[in-house]
Amino acid sequence: MSETPTLRLPGRKAQAARNDALILDAARTVFLRDPSAPIAAVAVEAGVGISALYRRYANKEGMIASLCAEGLERYIAAAERALASTARPWQRLLGFITEVVDEDVHSLTVRLAGTFTPTRELAELAERATALGAKVFDAAQEAGALRPGLVFNDLAMILEQATAVRVSDPARTRVLRRRYLALQLDALSARRSRGAPADLPGPPPSDAELGERWIPRD
């Protein structure tokens, strides 16, 4: 996250903005490592007092919701860049998928979803992200670039699988994810080096199965 806007703010506002970024970075580290960790662990990671956290977030759920919103916004931005690209549909899809994995979007959304009660606003953000991602996928499918039988929800599962690859070194994690993502992307392509693609076993995940984690509980 760039600090340029923060540096332009006067005194206390600049410090508050720096603290906000510091706390959110710490929350990302703590909750991706252990979603059940207490909010006090974030204060320790950030090196601030617990009162600094509660001035910005009413509770742990609010903090995790902010992380999820950040992940969804990254996904939306990646989809919008893909849709605005002049590249061929298959290349746009590849770029979109790779960016989503590199940005660790699903760690901020899928991994944390279900650990808190989502708000209506967050559910709407998730709906927008899904709609934009589907447009990128559909364009590649309509261009004949994808193997038969695939639907957009299959892509969601592939992204979750890529996100599951994680080692202690972030740089190494990125390399490993790229390695196995390359294998998965090859399986998506309609252009296979040998023979016709085999039929896919079983139905794809349903919208209800993928969306249940974003349903607000009143």
Residues 128-148: pLDDT tens digits?
Answer: 999 999 999 999 999 999 988
pLDDT at 3 over 70: no
Residues 95-122: pLDDT tens digits?
Answer: 999 999 998 898 888 888 888 888 889 9
DSSP 8-state class, residue 218: -
pLDDT value at residue 1 = 42
One-letter amino acid of 15: Q
DSSP 8-state class, residue 168: S
Q: Exposed, middle or buried: residue 30 (CB in 10 Å: 0-12, 13-18, 19+)?
A: buried
- Residue 192 tokens, joined: 């296979």
Cβ burial 5-25 (10 Å sphere, 16+ → b, else e): ebeeeeeeeeeebebbeebbe
Hey, what CATH topology would domain 61-214 get?
Tetracycline Repressor; domain 2 (1.10.357)
Residues 6+ apart with CB under 8 A from 182: none
pLDDT value at residue 114 = 80
Residues 68-84: pLDDT tens digits?
Answer: 999 999 999 999 999 99
State whether the Cα torsion 8-14-170-160 is positive or negative. negative
Backbone angles phi, psi at 189, to 5 degrees: -70, 145
Q: Where is pLDDT greater, at 113 or 200?
A: 113
Q: Which band of pLDDT confidence, cut at 50, 70 and 90, is reported for residue 192? A: low
Spans of all domains in the chain: 1-57, 61-214
Under a CB-based contact definition with an 8 Å cutoff, are residues 70 and 24 in contact? yes
Q: Exposed, middle or buried: residue 170 (CB in 10 Å: 0-12, 13-18, 19+)?
A: exposed
pLDDT at 2 over 60: no
Residues 154-182: pLDDT tens digits?
Answer: 998 899 898 888 887 888 888 898 998 88
pLDDT value at residue 194 = 46
Q: What percent of the chain has pLDDT over 70?
A: 87
